[in-house]
Amino acid sequence: MAGKPKLYYFDGRGKMESVRWLLAAAGVEFEEEFLETREQYEKLLQGGSLLFQQVPMVEIDGMKMVQTRAILSYIAAKYNLYGKDLKERALIDMYVGGTDDLMGFILMFPFLSAEDKEKQCAVIIQKATSRYFPAYEKVLKDHGQNFLVGNNFSWADVHLLEAILMVEEKKSDVLSGFPQLQAFKARISGIPTIKKFLEPGSQRKPVPDDKYVETVRRVLRMYYDVKAN
């Protein structure tokens, strides 16, 4: 019997958070090893565990997988969250790609200066409400189904809910002009595995704080300032 997937990353969101979301949505229990020191990171490097010398890294089914998109694709396919045919997979990839683009504006937010954070927050809200949310609103309205693809719960739904909640942390009423997305959020949040992940005490990580930022900078030796998009 295969053991639980094991996630190697920092004790915070970053690129690993979407992996946590997807495993949780699939009802899969997982273990985590948090990187807290440069020595831990270098041990993974020297042991050959990090193919491209970077994390996230996930041990699953006898593999040591890196590259976030590859990890997510594998999990989605393994747990039947990747559509029923090639066309549905293409749609899921397209919607996940759009959501990834939106998340990209948020990912490095904790590493910005206070001045840049203010500017970037405005960018995030503008991009979400003028480009990304209108697209998903239209998809849901046009096909009239409960989920983004094939009227079945998929990776695309998990990823979009994660993005919605991330943007709402910047502006709580950001969905006020998007009734389809409001209903979508309520539906997906009510799925038992998702509902459990959203409850206190789960392995979902909180909004990144100064401790998380300092740990990442120290372990990865990030001596430069990140600039806003």
Q: What is the pLDDT of residue 71?
A: 98
Q: How many CA atoms lie within 13 A of 38 on its CB side?
A: 7
pLDDT-based confidence at residue 228 (cuts at 50, 70, 90): low
DSSP states along 98-111: HHHHHHHHHHTGGG
Q: What is the pLDDT of residue 222?
A: 82
Please provide the size of the chain in residues.
Answer: 229
Among 24-28, 125-129, 190-194, 220-224, the minimum mean pLDDT is found in 220-224
Q: Is the pLDDT of residue 62 over 70?
A: yes
pLDDT-based confidence at residue 65 (cuts at 50, 70, 90): very high
Q: How far is it, in rounded angstroms, from Cα 138 to Cα 162? A: 19
pLDDT-above-90 percentage for the chain:
94
Q: Which part of the chain is CATH 3.40.30.10?
A: 6-79+198-220
Tokens of 67: 């590259």
Helical axes 17-25 vs 68-78, angle rounded to 10°: 0
pLDDT-based confidence at residue 223 (cuts at 50, 70, 90): low
Fold of the CATH domain 6-79+198-220 = Glutaredoxin (3.40.30)
Q: Is the pLDDT of residue 226 over 80?
A: no
| Radius of gyration, alpha carbons of the chain | 18
Angle at 169 between CA 164 and CA 27, to 5 degrees: 50
* pTM, two decimal places: 0.95
> With respect to CATH, is domain 86-190 assigned 1.20.1050.10?
yes
Tokens of 109: 């937010």
Average pLDDT in the 128-140 region? 98
Average pLDDT in the 84-98 region? 98
Tokens of 162: 């994660």
Q: What is the pLDDT of residue 155?
A: 98
pLDDT-based confidence at residue 1 (cuts at 50, 70, 90): very low
pLDDT-based confidence at residue 227 (cuts at 50, 70, 90): low
Q: Is the pLDDT of residue 21 over 50?
A: yes
DSSP states along the chain: -----EEEE-SS-GGGHHHHHHHHHTT---EEEE--SHHHHHHHHHTT--TTS-S-EEEETTEEEESHHHHHHHHHHHTT-S-SSHHHHHHHHHHHHHHHHHHHHHHTGGGS-HHHHHHHHHHHHHHIIIIIHHHHHHHHHHH--SSSBTTB--HHHHHHHHHHHHHHTT-TTTTTT-HHHHHHHHHHHTSHHHHHHHSTTSS---S--HHHHHHHHHHHT--SPPPP-
Q: What is the pLDDT of residue 229?
A: 56
Amino acid at 14: G
**pLDDT tens-digit profile of 156-204?**
999 999 999 999 999 999 999 999 999 999 999 999 999 999 999 999 9
Q: Which part of the chain is CATH 1.20.1050.10?
A: 86-190
pLDDT-above-70 percentage for the chain:
96
Q: How far is it, in rounded angstroms, from Cα 196 to Cα 80? A: 19
